[in-house]
């Protein structure tokens, strides 16, 4: 069983959209899938999308045990509530579901190095779990620089199995559609994928019925 960790170049990159699609795809294959967003702030909308993607087979608290109200970095939001999140506790929660599941997806918060709790971030959890990172980024001007910086922050071993998913924005810009080609000069093209704009709101259940979306999800998970 693989553990996939969905991270991104920034907040709002499209991590939850991709995680919900992957979760729905695996769920429809009949697998016991755990889709987790252990830490979040600014409400639980992302966790609710994962909950819906797997038809409530995990509770909201199982998907998202640490959540805070302020729409700022989770570690700062936790401090405002006189709380804290430890790396050990998050790892233990994920490990518990690894032992119960046939497939596990873990979604971070913010970008790769955004603090999630007391002195740890998504990169630390990826290393702890020996997870395969899926880096989500908006397909727009400037994203290649952000992606290369994110890849550089990972170990060589982790980068060697990383995947990248470029998400088309609602309003394309001059670089949309050309970033994958430029990125291929520095990162294997076979591990870079594109996700079209699905609208807002969107339905993970409906989206995974599309042949192009299903093929992309299958390729991301199988490589």
CB-based contacts of 48: which residues, under 8 Å, 6+ apart?
60
From 15, 37, 83, 161, active-site residue:
37
State yes or no: is 37 an active-site residue. yes
CA angle 99, 105, 108 (to 5 degrees): 120
**Residue found under tokens 């939001």:** 77
* Secondary structure (DSSP) of 89-113: HHHHHHHHHHHH-SEEEEE-SSSTT
Is 194:212 a contact under the CB 8 Å cutoff? no
**120-121 and 132-138: which strand pairing?**
unpaired
The two tokens of residue 33 are 């899938």
Is 14:195 a contact under the CB 8 Å cutoff? yes
Active site residues: 37
């Amino acid at each position: 069983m693989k553990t996939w960790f969905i991270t991104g170049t920034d907040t709002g990159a499209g991590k939850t959209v991709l995680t919900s699609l992957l979760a729905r795809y695996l769920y429809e294959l009949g697998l016991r899938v755990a889709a987790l967003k252990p830490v979040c702030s600014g409400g639980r909308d992302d966790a609710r999308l994962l909950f819906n993607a797997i038809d409530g087979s995990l509770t909201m608290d199982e998907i998202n045990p640490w959540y805070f109200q302020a729409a700022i970095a989770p570690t700062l939001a936790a401090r405002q509530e006189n709380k804290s999140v430890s790396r050990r506790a998050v790892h233990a929660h994920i490990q518990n579901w690894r032992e119960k599941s046939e497939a596990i997806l873990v979604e971070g918060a913010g970008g790769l190095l955004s603090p999630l709790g007391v002195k740890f971030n998504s990169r630390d959890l990826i290393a702890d779990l020996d997870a395969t990172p899926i880096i989500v980024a908006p397909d727009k001007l400037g994203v290649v620089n952000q992606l290369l910086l994110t890849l550089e922050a990972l170990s060589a071993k982790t980068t060697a199995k990383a995947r990248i998913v470029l998400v088309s924005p609602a309003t394309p810009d001059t670089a949309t559609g050309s970033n994958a080609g430029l990125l291929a000069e520095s990162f294997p093209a076979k591990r870079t994928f594109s996700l079209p704009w699905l609208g807002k709101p969107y339905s993970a259940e409906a989206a995974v019925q599309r042949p192009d979306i299903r093929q992309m999800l299958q390729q991301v998970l199988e490589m």
